[in-house]
Amino acid sequence: MRNIKLTIEYDGKRYLGWQRLGDSDKTIQGKIESVINQMTGEKIEITGSGRTDAGTHARGQVANFKTNTELSRPEMLSFFNRYLPSDIVVKKVEEMPERFHARYNVKGKQYSYYVWNDPIPTAFERYHSFYVPQELDLAKMQEACEKLIGTHDFLGFSALKKSKKSTTRTIDEIAIEQEGSMLHFTFIADGFLHKMVRILMGTILAIGSGDLGLEVIDEVLTEKVRKAAGETAPAQGLFLDEVYY
């Protein structure tokens, strides 16, 4: 059987998230599977690199599936982009060795988070950023990011109550770029726990606005209690940029 890897871009606004829920048509996975079934005549389940929440976007989500279709890669690519809704785009179709698995083989991921920081809102980026009208202290937020970089148990910065699996992750980079009124945060790590980027963002922003002090980071990393961290920043500002294998 062939093992096909897809690189997928989507605007998550209209969807309940990546993962198919029963027969629901409101998930990215569900939409893609239904086009694959139409394309191959096979009933195929795809494996994503991981879930994304309702409303979260992706520039480079990855999934794979096994198929017996004889369609060429360019034929599949054009079939996908002809039949998928316009807010889901398959950017690449690749042929992989049989052992490739989109979730098990993940080595790391990059996420972006966008904050529109201006007294005046934005008409164009309103569904692709989180609107924060208050002034933010960029230097304080940089310090917060420095403290988060490295290998830590991030349980307190996740939506998990407890976990049998390890909740230790290594963050390689958190960068903040200012592009006019837009703040662009980039996170690179070997993995992220459930809602981790959004809770980190909520905490970083609360530090930037002065609602929380810098010491909260050490506190949450040591005590591993979600309660002390900031609120979960909304999904609409979050983009899965790239999955590393």
Does residue number 14 form part of the binding site for a copy of itself (CB under 8 A)? no
Which token pair is 8?
């997928």
Residue 226 carries which side chain, given as an amino acid letter?
A: R
CA angle 10, 107, 195 (to 5 degrees): 55
Q: Specify which residues 105 forms β-bridges with.
A: none
- The pattern of x and - marking residues 179 through 218 that bind a copy of itself according to CB under 8 A reads ----------------------------------------
Scan residues 76-115 and list those touching a copy of itself (CB under 8 A).
77, 81, 86-91
Of residues 83 and 150, the one with the C-beta less far from a copy of itself:
83
Kindly report the length of the chain: 245
Residue 206 carries which side chain, given as an amino acid letter?
A: A
Q: How far apart are CA 168 and CA 159, in angstroms?
A: 14
Does residue number 20 form part of the binding site for a copy of itself (CB under 8 A)? no
Catalytic residues: 53
Which token pair is 99?
């052992």
Q: How far apart are CA 159 and CA 241, in angstroms?
A: 21
Binding residues for substrate: 111
Which residue in the set 120, 162, 179, 180 belongs to the binding site for a copy of itself (CB under 8 A)? 120
Of residues 61 and 158, the one with the C-beta less far from a copy of itself:
61
* Chain residues that interact with a copy of itself, rule: CB under 8 A: 9-11, 57, 77, 81, 86-91, 120-124, 126, 128
